[in-house]
Chain A
Amino acid sequence: MPATLTSLTAPTDATPVPTGETVVSVRGLTKVFKDFWNRPKARAVDNVDFDVRKGEVFGLLGPNGSGKSTTVKLLLGLLHPTKGHLEVFGHSPRHVATKARIGYLPEESYLYRYLNSRETLEFFGNLFELPRKDRHQRSEQLLEMVGLSQAHLRAVGEFSKGMQRRIGLAQALINDPDLVILDEPTSGLDPIGCREVKDLILALARRGKTVILSSHLLSDVEDVCDRVVIYYGGKIQAMGTLRELLATPDTIRITTPNLSRPTLERVLEVIRKDVAEDRVRIDTPTQNLESYFLQVVHNARRAAAETSGAMSGARVAAYLRGNAEEKPVGDKLLERLTAPAPASTPAPASAAPEPSVDEQRLAALAKPAAEAETPAPKPAPTAEQTAELEKANEKLAGLMSKPK
């Protein structure tokens, strides 16, 4: 396992400035849902600003009811903003011709149940005024791509949810869109399907397409997005590239393979010349989007951010619970994120640096792998596992170094 050195005094990376054409521009966007008497009912989106540039994979991240889907629907002209300004390809979202450049997959596959998958694609192809030959060709290819070639004559209403997502994804791509808006694209898909969707998003990005991905699944966003905004209570709580968001700005991390104790001592000695001993920490990398997201939501809740959406952690109504004790909510991330904070203050997700060098840990890390006692040595990875890890590393490296 690689060891990492972190220093709070390290300079932060310069923020990469996205270049290229602005595809989506959002300024002061606010959406207030009103009741029958026109009284404000819920503030779903509150004064949101962001831009999405050409070729970006842009993530909208947030718990249920945080305003992601409302933002997507505002971008598509399906809802009208209460305040603020929206532009997609320089036009109002309700500009009909602009929609020829957009592909949209809603959070549920709102397709016509009585059409089969081929008819579905034919129908949407007609809405894009595609010539018959192109329509047929693209339908074939898309059905092949989403793995529904064999089921092209079955009515969509007979499909499983995963199959419906696949045909929904296919219809979103029938026009070879410049901007693809995907609302929870992996919802209902099996792990292979999820992987395929993510690969597809990356492939689209490589082709210079812009992708807006709305999800509450952190792994979806983490795997494919260049930049993300994190919503809570209709407001943007954080925005930036994954690197910006995940890095601890005033520290650096040096990741190396395990070092021998003398080597490590020498390195520490050099570092201690510039940095106080209690500000240097040796650990294994643990920071990830999940922990960052946890922190953002935790902070937002502490600031009593107003939310119009679902509040996780609410107890089930007493009459429904009966006498049964409420079970633990499980380990679903978002449930954990939005659950009421426990009485004892947990360590922040992005753990603060240890006050001093952990000598025991240092000794353990410096030991050869075979001699290490804590933790117990793990079996050596198989060739397959190694290949997987390498692939993952490559992907992450590629993701982090991708030009914006």
Chain B
Amino acid sequence: MQQIFAMAWLTWKAAFRFRLFLVIAGLLLLSVIGLPLLVKDDGTARGFTQILLTYTLGIISTLLGISTLWLACGTLARDIEECQIQVVATKPIARWQIWLGKWLGIVSLNALLLAISGGAVYGMLQWRADRLPLAEQKVLRNEVLVARASVKPPDHHAEIEQQTDELLKERLEKVPLDRDSIAQVRQQIREQIKASKQIVPPGYSREWTLDLGMARFSLHDQPLFLRIKFNAAQKPASGTIDGFWQVGLPEGNTRPWFSGPLSLAPDSFHEFRIPPNLFDSQGKLTVSFLNVPENPTVLFPLEDGIEVLYREGGFGLNYIRGLGIILCWMALLAALGLAAASFLSFPVAAFFSLGLLTLVLASGTMANAVSEGTIANWNAEKGTKGWSPADIVVIPTFKAILRVISLAKDFSPVDSLSSGRSITWTELGLAFAQIVLLLSGGLAVFGMVVLTRRELATAQGTQ
């Protein structure tokens, strides 16, 4: 371990002596402190959160990400190009230890930078929160500066697929279809079934049952928050849709909560507080919506139409766990940079790593191609797809790439922190396992093997 720590110490020395640490720390603090001073929020808790938490954490992640990639490529590639590695590698230190020492050095530097900038964000958040109007402060403390868990109704995925297959079978028994038409018909049937579970026509109501599970034991006398989102078949003239909400069922001494007429805009999230103790003894909470007859049909998406949030813990620890996930990302970028530098020169390694990062960030195109099943044009109106011979190779490749990318991309600590959602220890552990152990570990094994096999004395010194 002494050798690994010596390499990590060397990385620290380089970062400090070349003033890289000071420059990055200065930039981070400038962004974190300067941005809220330059960009004024709208005085609401949401606006405040967006600027002081979402933007600042976004900037921290971006700045640290780029500097980590740059430092990782530079620390190894430059050592090889400037031949210092020739002196180090002739000492009793294995190449994998050199690699690991540098990685540890970069990750620990990131941890310090993240602690400094994260601490500044936290301080700014607490300090500036007092300037908000009292009502907004209350919203902020209840809905953002907390760690809230959430419960959603079942997404009915399996049920939808089963019903689709049954209906398709019946249809085919009556009217035989060719292969291409079968796929189209199946898609139409599926959408119909799915819609039937989402839409609420005018004058009708819909009921969702949410299972609070074991959390019910800790939620007595605790308020809950209903978070909803819906789409409207037609855009209402007033811009809002009126409706009535009921939470809970009349059972024993429990009385349901009625919202009264609520006028809400479609296509955006709304959150309102509901009184405690509305769930039954099994932890089941019933939520109903009544669409008034004057309204158009409304649709509550299965994925995020209805959600109930409840307080699980404080913001401080949640915030640290969120920063922990960001640090996991940095560890991955450090591994990516070092792996690239294990076989490429500095500028090429930096370019390669940044290119790969851009590809990951733009993975939406790949996801579209995978969902459409082709890289050829998709006719959205007819619901028909084109076909390309490359699909045979490209679509499975895209699927595999997306699966790998999702191991890191599925975590969204900034969004969670901004919406006051809980980042559990399990989630942090999962992030560590997927991002650090699996992805970074894979890159580390690749980088270490390449570095071990590489001839280190082919470069002529450039220092």
Q: What band does the interface of chain A fall in when counting residues whose beta carbon is under 8 Å from B?
A: 20 to 34
The segment from A109-117, A228-236, A294-302, A376-384 found at the interface with B is A109-117
Nearest chain A residue, comparing its CB with the CB of B98: A127
CB atoms of A110 and B84 under 8 A apart:
yes
Closest CB-CB distance, B106 to chain A, in whole Å? 16
Choose among B9, B13, B457 the residue that contacts A78 (Cβ–Cβ < 8 A). B457
Q: How far is the CA of A80 from the CA of B84 in the complex (A)?
A: 18
CB atoms of B91 and A78 under 8 A apart:
no
| Chain B residues whose C-beta falls within 8 Å of the C-beta of A111 in the assembled complex | 84, 87
Q: How far is the CA of A98 from the CA of B455 in the complex (A)?
A: 18
Q: A80-B455, A110-B82, A129-B2 are in contact. Are A99 and B461 (CB under 8 A)?
A: no
Q: How far is the CA of A297 from the CA of B86 in the complex (A)?
A: 30
Q: Hey, what's the 0/1 contact readout for B198-230 against A, CB within 8 Å counting as 1?
A: 000000000000000000000000000000000
Closest CB-CB distance, A118 to chain B, in whole Å? 12
Choose among B13, B86, B94 the residue that contacts A119 (Cβ–Cβ < 8 A). B13
The segment from A17-25, A100-108, A262-270, A275-283 found at the interface with B is A100-108
B361: Cβ under 8 A from any A Cβ: no
Q: Hey, what's the 0/1 contact readout for B10-25 against A, CB within 8 Å counting as 1?
A: 1001100110000000
CB atoms of B93 and A96 under 8 A apart:
yes
Choose among A96, A110, A171 the residue that contacts B92 (Cβ–Cβ < 8 A). A96
8 A Cβ contacts from A95-152 to B: 96-100, 102, 104, 106, 108, 110-115, 119, 123-124, 126-129
Q: How far is the CA of A96 from the CA of B452 in the complex (A)?
A: 11
Nearest chain B residue, comparing its CB with the CB of A72: B457
CB atoms of A127 and B91 under 8 A apart:
yes
CB atoms of A106 and B86 under 8 A apart:
yes
Q: A78-B89, A104-B90 are in contact. Are A110 and B83 (CB under 8 A)?
A: yes
| Chain B residues whose C-beta falls within 8 Å of the C-beta of A126 in the assembled complex | 2-3, 5-6, 9
Closest CB-CB distance, A113 to chain B, in whole Å? 7
Q: A106-B83, A112-B84, A129-B2 are in contact. Are A124 and B461 (CB under 8 A)?
A: no
Q: How far is the CA of A123 from the CA of B13 in the complex (A)?
A: 11
CB atoms of B13 and A114 under 8 A apart:
yes
CB atoms of B463 and A99 under 8 A apart:
no
Choose among A76, A127, A155 the residue that contacts B6 (Cβ–Cβ < 8 A). A127
A253: Cβ under 8 A from any B Cβ: no
CB atoms of B90 and A102 under 8 A apart:
yes
| Chain B residues whose C-beta falls within 8 Å of the C-beta of A104 in the assembled complex | 87, 90
Nearest chain B residue, comparing its CB with the CB of A104: B90
Closest CB-CB distance, A158 to chain B, in whole Å? 12
CB atoms of A123 and B10 under 8 A apart:
yes
CB atoms of B18 and A76 under 8 A apart:
no
A243: Cβ under 8 A from any B Cβ: no
CB atoms of A99 and B90 under 8 A apart:
yes
CB atoms of B93 and A78 under 8 A apart:
no
A188: Cβ under 8 A from any B Cβ: no
Q: Hey, what's the 0/1 contact readout for B112-123 against A, CB within 8 Å counting as 1?
A: 000000000000
CB atoms of B86 and A78 under 8 A apart:
yes
| Chain B residues whose C-beta falls within 8 Å of the C-beta of A80 in the assembled complex | 455
Q: A110-B461, A114-B14, A114-B17 are in contact. Are A77 and B87 (CB under 8 A)?
A: no
| Chain B residues whose C-beta falls within 8 Å of the C-beta of A175 in the assembled complex | 91
CB atoms of A112 and B10 under 8 A apart:
yes
CB atoms of B90 and A112 under 8 A apart:
no
CB atoms of A97 and B92 under 8 A apart:
yes
B253: Cβ under 8 A from any A Cβ: no
Q: How far is the CA of A124 from the CA of B84 in the complex (A)?
A: 12
Q: How far is the CA of A77 from the CA of B6 in the complex (A)?
A: 21
A79: Cβ under 8 A from any B Cβ: yes
A73: Cβ under 8 A from any B Cβ: yes
Q: How far is the CA of A115 from the CA of B93 in the complex (A)?
A: 19
CB atoms of A123 and B6 under 8 A apart:
yes
Q: How far is the CA of A89 from the CA of B3 in the complex (A)?
A: 22
CB atoms of B2 and A110 under 8 A apart:
no
Nearest chain A residue, comparing its CB with the CB of B85: A110
Q: Hey, what's the 0/1 contact readout for A343-373 against B, CB within 8 Å counting as 1?
A: 0000000000000000000000000000000
CB atoms of B457 and A73 under 8 A apart:
yes
CB atoms of A99 and B91 under 8 A apart:
yes
CB atoms of B14 and A112 under 8 A apart:
yes
Nearest chain B residue, comparing its CB with the CB of A108: B461
Q: How far is the CA of A76 from the CA of B94 in the complex (A)?
A: 13
25 contacts between A and B (CB under 8 A): A76-B89, A78-B86, A78-B90, A79-B455, A97-B92, A99-B90, A99-B92, A104-B87, A106-B83, A108-B83, A110-B83, A110-B87, A111-B87, A112-B10, A112-B13, A112-B14, A114-B14, A115-B17, A123-B6, A124-B91, A126-B3, A127-B3, A127-B91, A127-B92, A129-B92
Interface residues of A (CB under 8 A from B): 33, 73, 76-80, 96-100, 102, 104, 106, 108, 110-115, 119, 123-124, 126-129, 155, 168, 171, 175
